[in-house]
A and B are shown apart, each in its own frame.
Chain A
Amino acid sequence: MKTNNIMIVGVGGQGSLLASKLIGNVAQQNGLEVKVSEVHGMSQRGGSVVTYVRYGDKVHSPIIAKGEADIILSFELLEAARYTERLKPGGKILTSTQTIDPMPVITGAMEYPDALAEKLKAAGFNLLAVDALSLAEEAGNYKAVNVVMIGVLSCFLDFPMECWEKAIEVCVPPKFLDVNKKAFTIGRVIGGTKLS
């Protein structure tokens, strides 16, 4: 299998670590080599956070460089727009429509760009935008945006549903299992409808 490159982007604290674990676990269940590159330390504190997941028959580099991402999975709209040059031609952006103002917007030095999803589509990017925050709330916890988006992502990857279920059971603490299972299912349903 050729190497698949998935970039998970968002704001520090949005749970990209769990999302990367889930994808990594599923790929591993399928006998593929996996590398997951995380961000720790200073950048985590509300900053722009990037996690790389690469899997395939043989993976050397843990990072995804310009023009290499098959999918950008984003938990925040501005972050979805920030990394477009990493996309492969024909690559997809799956993003939550949630917006979180960065400090230059809060201080008034800059404005949060308008209609980013529309602009991305108009520029020819293959984009699926989902209101994952509302869906996470529907699942029972606004923090489950990450797992809603993993549910969406699952529709675009060739792994069986059982693998995802197993990954969630392995990676999510028992206390949050129900909410996350629900979040995943909601995301997968939405992803499925957009796929057709």
Chain B
Amino acid sequence: MEKRLMLGNEAVARGLYEAGCEVVSSYPGTPSTEITEFASKYDEIKSEWAPNEKVALEVALGASIAGVRSFCGMKHVGLNVAADPLFTASYSGVNAGLIVAVADDQGMHSSQNEQDSRHYAIAAKIPMLEPADSQECKDYVTEAYSISEQFDTPVLLRLSTRISHTQTETTVGERKALPKREYIKNAAKYVMMPGNAKKKHVVVEERTKKLTAFSETTPLNTIIDNGSRIGVISAGIAYQYAAEALEDKVNYLKLGMLNPLPVELIKNFAADCEKVYVVEELDGVIETHCRCIGVPVIGKELFSNIGELDQVIIREKILGVKPEIKKLDETLPVRPPVLCPGCPHRGVFYVLGKLKVMVSGDIGCYTLGAVAPLNALDTTICMGASISGLHGFNLADENNCKKSVAVIGDSTFIHSGITGLINVVYNATNSVVIIMDNSTTGMTGHQQNPTTGFNIKGDPAAAVSLEKLCESIGIRRVRVVDPMDIQLFESVVKEELEAPEPSVIISRRPCALLKTVKKYPPLRINTDKCKKCKACFKIGCPAIQDSKGTIKIDPTLCVGCRLCVKMCNFTAIEGEAK
């Protein structure tokens, strides 16, 4: 068997392929995105980017009901969007197996919150598996499908940044194609109206009992007995940190099934130990369960429920061993992520900053407009909240309409901005919404979306026209502007702020990182003409730097977008014209 270094996400996709999965529908979200990107490379799997996670999960459930194994992947906050179908899919159950992967982001590397998705498994009464490396990512997919079909339930596969984005060795196998399961009309199972759902709830509770019995004996949960009197209960990435830190000094109960958790297995494991630690990131989910079943454990009094753990923290807390550390004694400037050189969003934020308007922000690359020197955003909550939040801001005081805007990307607008915009029209606030259309889903690494005209495989697809969509819901003022033309952009924003009705400004220019976007030779500063006024610094371009009093453009960063040229009153920025 061939062993390959694979990202956890790639291994999940490989698992889908090998387990005979036929339909994958997802919405991108770090750290889950690559599962679906890799899945789309297998011709045997019909893969798609859906407009949002709720749609994606409903698609996957529909495919399962039709009789083929299906999958839906998302980040932790995506599960909030998909929670509605999730909770009732728990009642309806499946026909062919259905897996919902949810990738948590401990440490918030690329997220707006740090929620622990295990609570969803408990609340929706759905079994959850959690792999600890790429091999398990692949193997647990097969196991999850088998649980799904045996117990008639969707199965949650919990991942995290360090599992999804770590490459570890994985043995690959062949695909086992499965015969399609017959679809049989069964309203009592699939029509979740009260009369049917009441009966189904009883079934779900019975199922949880059966799943608990399953979790007592499944090899997903394993004891590693090193003959110690100290026990550690852990799962997923936290298990790897614990195993690294404590080696064979302790016994382990490594849990691969996180919901429902076993009872007797934990009691028996603890019975042989003088002391039992629970090592888990974020909330004390396993710990709470242990206490509920009367097993005393040490957990969150030692380990924070904020951020990531690592082996050094565990070594220190449990063994009392501190690392030998030396640090350079110097205050260093931080290096936060920034809008890329050539980014079309930069012009928008420069203008909005100049006009001093309140900016209701959203989730995407443009969230980076919040940092200095642009300091453009006033709020960022969740996908779509820019538009609905602006409507509320303007309802609270209609004078706000003249000094506030929403900014939202093309993909995010389709995800959940359109419903907010319908509300703006229907409930009539003179809100100004800027759709920053950069022709891609940028932050997650350039996925296609319903506005780009291409599907996940890059083949031509129907494209939603943002202009026509906005017009069709009743927006009469739809303006399309190139954000690099900052003068025009400023005058359009001013006009729309004064308009007596809602309006949409489509700020249209493709992402500078797209391969189809032409890069120009780097610009340079004519030091004879440069007055060092630093007007060009106002746009916050990372390529423009002050090198010991000389203003310079870093040729390794500049893509020649010429936005800075428009900022200079002394024609000191030179380079090949477009």
Contact = CB atoms under 8 A, between A and B. Distances in A.
Given A60-B241, A102-B333, A108 B162 contact: no
A107 B328 contact: no
Given A43-B109, A119-B328, A142-B556, A104 B333 contact: yes
B372 A62 contact: no
29 contacts: A11-B335, A35-B166, A39-B165, A41-B109, A41-B443, A42-B110, A42-B368, A45-B338, A46-B337, A47-B335, A48-B335, A60-B241, A61-B243, A61-B245, A61-B310, A62-B166, A63-B162, A65-B310, A81-B330, A82-B332, A84-B327, A87-B326, A88-B324, A102-B333, A102-B334, A107-B373, A125-B326, A125-B328, A142-B555
B376 interface: no
Given A41-B110, A46-B542, A123-B329, A62 B337 contact: no
Given A42-B109, A107-B540, A89 B324 contact: yes
B323 A67 contact: yes
Interface stretch (A109-117, A150-158, A172-180, A182-190): A109-117
Nearest to B541: A106
> How many of chain B's residues touch chain A, expressed as a range?
35 or more
Interface string B439-482: 00001110000000000000000000000000000000000000
A90 B59 CA distance: 55
A128 interface: no
Contacts of A68: 311-312, 323
B428 interface: no
Given A38-B166, A61-B244, A106 B368 contact: no
Given A63-B162, A84-B327, A45 B168 contact: no
A38 B134 CA distance: 14
Contacts of A2: none
Contacts of A25: 5
Contacts of A106: 373, 537, 540, 542, 544-546
Contact of B328 (A43, A60, A123): A123
A43 B334 CA distance: 12
Contacts of B169: 28, 33-34
Given A42-B110, A46-B335, A119-B330, 20 more contacts: A37-B162, A39-B165, A40-B110, A42-B30, A43-B109, A45-B339, A45-B340, A48-B334, A60-B243, A61-B310, A62-B168, A63-B311, A67-B312, A67-B323, A67-B325, A68-B312, A81-B332, A107-B540, A110-B333, A124-B326
B326 A47 contact: no
B334 A46 contact: no
Nearest to A82: B332
A83 to B, nearest CB: 10
Contacts of B545: 101, 105-106
A46 B444 contact: no
Interface of B: 5, 7, 30-31, 33-34, 109-110, 133, 162, 165-169, 237, 240-241, 243-245, 308, 310-313, 323-340, 365, 367-368, 371-373, 443-445, 534, 537, 540, 542, 544-546, 554-557
A16 to B, nearest CB: 13
Contacts of A87: 326
The 4 closest A-B pairs by CB, nearest first: A67-B323, A41-B110, A41-B30, A47-B337
A113 B368 CA distance: 25
B372 A109 contact: yes
Contacts of A113: 330-333
A149 to B, nearest CB: 15
A10 B332 CA distance: 14
Contacts of A78: 332-333, 335
Contacts of B540: 103, 106-107
B328 A44 contact: no
A191 interface: no
Nearest to B312: A65
A35 B168 contact: yes
Nearest to B5: A24
Give the residue among A79, A89, A100, A133 with the most B Cβ atoms within 10 A: A100
B310 A42 contact: no
A161 to B, nearest CB: 21
Nearest to A62: B166
A36 interface: yes
A42 B372 contact: no
Give the residue among B34, B168, B337 with the most A Cβ atoms within 10 A: B337
Interface of chain B: mostly helix, strand, loop or mixed: loop
A55 to B, nearest CB: 11
A22 to B, nearest CB: 12
B441 to A, nearest CB: 12
A42 B240 CA distance: 25
A136 B141 CA distance: 43
A51 B170 CA distance: 20
A192 interface: no
Contacts of B555: 142
A12 interface: yes
A40 B110 CA distance: 8
Give the residue among B312, B365, B534 with the most A Cβ atoms within 10 A: B312
B241 to A, nearest CB: 5
Contact of B323 (A48, A65, A81, A120): A65
A194 to B, nearest CB: 21
Contacts of B372: 103-104, 107, 109
Contacts of A104: 333-334, 372
B373 to A, nearest CB: 5
A82 B367 CA distance: 25
Contact of B244 (A45, A48, A60, A66): A60
A165 interface: no
A100 B557 contact: yes
Interface string A118-157: 0110011100000001000000001100000000000000
B443 A46 contact: no
A192 to B, nearest CB: 26
Contacts of A66: 312, 323, 325
A28 B368 CA distance: 38
A61 B332 CA distance: 28
Contacts of B335: 11, 46-48, 78-79, 82, 102-103
B330 to A, nearest CB: 6
Interface in A70-105: 78-79, 81-82, 84-85, 87-89, 100-105
A44 B337 contact: yes
Given A61-B310, A103-B540, A120-B328, A45 B368 contact: yes
